[in-house]
Amino acid sequence: MNAVEIEEAVSALAKLPATRAESSFAFLEALGKKATTIKCLRADASNRSDIGGVLQTNHIPIGVMEPDAVSAMLARLDQ
């Protein structure tokens, strides 16, 4: 995917109602991650997060939280 395609996919995602359980996977899908990768992350087969988020080794860590908890989640991701 190129930058324009990613921007379009993320903008479309932002217009949808967010659910805590699905937002991380929808974001990865918008970034062009393969369906098999997302399936493995959903099954915890390759999800390396130890804080209840989504982490694919050597890729972006994702934590879903309430708006007032962003700073705390960033601190946890930075550990």
Domain ranges in the chain are 3-77
CA 29 vs CA 40, 69, 71: distances in Å: 13, 24, 25
As given in the structure block, the two tokens for residue 11 are: 């903008």
For position 62, what pLDDT does the model report? 74
Dump pLDDT digits (tens) for 34-76: 899 888 888 877 777 776 777 776 677 777 777 888 888 778 7
Query: Can you give the pTM of this predicted structure?
Result: 0.61
Dump pLDDT digits (tens) for 26-41: 888 888 888 998 888 8
For position 16, what pLDDT does the model report? 80
* SS3 assignment, position 40: helix
